[in-house]
Structure 1
Amino acid sequence: MTPISFSPWEMFLTAGPVVRAVMTLLVVASLLTWTVFIAKSVEFFRLRLRLARAERVLTEANTLTLGEEWTRDYGGIAHNLVMAAAAERQQSQDILEDREGLKERIVLHLERLEAAEGRRLMRGTGLLATIGATSPFIGLFGTVWGIMTSFTGIAAAKATSLAVVAPGIAEALLATALGLVAAIPAVVIYNHLARQSASCRAQVADLTSLVMRLVSRDLSRMGLPLVTGQVVRFDARAVTAE
């Protein structure tokens, strides 16, 4: 008598079409989980490096114009923040006397950019949450269906020995095992990526603070009296003395 093989591959091949479809779906979900993990990990690693370099540049910059020039090569959110502040300042040339109002408008604009960047960072991770929440139930459905099929076959064959029951139940339980294999890494990876995203958002918030420091510094130069009694006037390109 040929011994029955209980390897996962053999059980997959001998399973019914519904259980086999459930197993295939869970394997695909697991592959998607690891694909998202690798892609987002590389994205976060590169982003953290760019944000760290941009933070050093904005720390060394003395004016918003210099900040715009020095972050131009980095692109991304750092340059967008500087450009947003410069654009708002340019559009408010006729009301620059209202410095507090200008700062408030710039802060509102930068907060919108921060929120958009936060949503972009979490893009794709919702799939992990869905996989982690639904995979155990999908696997359980495959198990229940497989056990129902096994008992139906037992009733039709009118045989109740363990040798007849065990293969069908083992195939059905494999679906539950695959559901857990897909769900557990998805939940762990989702939490890991959420922490990475929070770290990147904190760096973006630091960049916003640095941009606002440059804005405040430039606005203070507008009315700074010199020794000769002259006033430093700030324009869109540089700080000049007249």
Structure 2
Amino acid sequence: MKKWIVMLLALLPSFGMAAGGNLHLDAANNDISDQASLQSGAKTFMNYCFGCHATQYQRYERVATDLGIPLDLMKENMIFDKDAKIGDLMTNSISTEYAAASFGAPAPDLTLVARVRGPDWIYTYLRSFYADPSRPFGVNNVVFPSVGMPHVLEELQGVPTKVYETRLVDGEEVKEYVGIESDGTGELNSDEYDEVVRDLVNFLEYSAEPVKLERQRLGWWVMGFIVIFFVLTLLLKKEYWRDVY
């Protein structure tokens, strides 16, 4: 019993961070049944995130099969460790010590991040970096202040800055934060960048629960069985109690 209490207390800070207080979160509106989106998200993850963040509870082969990626293409384009096999877990080579020294803390595994944080949190977070020369990597984040992570997608988005609007409050001008705006130096425009982030979030949601679609599909069959069983039970009850009524 004591062990379970300790585990629950250890998880409470994560749930608190996932909630994010009163922070407004943008809706990701992703769709894990969209295989093309999942493939795009996997590509982005492996090229921009996997250098630091592993998904060590997944296997390359399972991801390739679920996402409809031929195994030879998976090995050629998404497995960067020459010694890794297609059936291996998706771990990277960065050590905990090196990550802690470089970023101030070890880079967390992202297999279950969508279940801990939620897709909307991740989607908003990846679109909330802004230039901040006072920070070690020159960026900060509206969702996660004083973040120790660099803006790894900056080459796609460009240099992001905070945008403010001035409004009158009790006769005084007050600057109010309204969003993030890129300087246009990235490879993608705003809509394209949002789509790339949405695909990445889609992949992370899939990673957190690869059987979600199968679970939902089986759920309909279970509900159908319950309905049929209920009808049969009702008819049987009427048959048994026919003489009484």
Q: Normalized against structure 1, the TM-score is what? A: 0.27
- Relative contact order, CA 8 A, sep 6+: which one is greater? 1
Q: Which has the higher helix share?
A: 1
The structure with the larger Rg is 1
Q: Normalized against structure 2, the TM-score is what? A: 0.27
